[in-house]
Amino acid sequence: MKFAIALLSGAQDPAARSALEFARAVMASGHSINRLFFYRDAVQLASSLGVQPQDESDLAAEWRQFIQQHELDAVVCIAAALRRGVLDEAEAKRWERIGSNTGAPWVLSGLGQWVDAIQRADRAVTFGN
Rounded Cα gap, residues 127 and 25, in angstroms: 15
> Is there a catalytic annotation at residue 62?
no
- CATH of region 2-50+71-127: 3.40.1260.10
Catalytic choice (77, 80, 86, 121): 77
Q: What is the pLDDT of residue 36?
A: 98
* pLDDT given for residue 51 in this prediction: 87
Domain-wise residue ranges, the chain: 2-50+71-127
Residue 45's pLDDT is what?
97
Predicted pLDDT at 52: 85
* pLDDT average per 10 residues of sequence, the chain (129 residues): 97 96 98 98 95 90 97 98 96 94 95 97 96
- Distance in angstroms (rounded) separating the CA atoms of residues 42 and 82: 13
pLDDT of amino acid 26: 98
Residue 36, helix vs strand vs coil: strand
Q: What is the distance, to the nearest Å, from the Cα of residue 64 to the centroid of all Cα atoms in its chain?
A: 8
CA 41 to CA 46: how far, in whole Å?
10
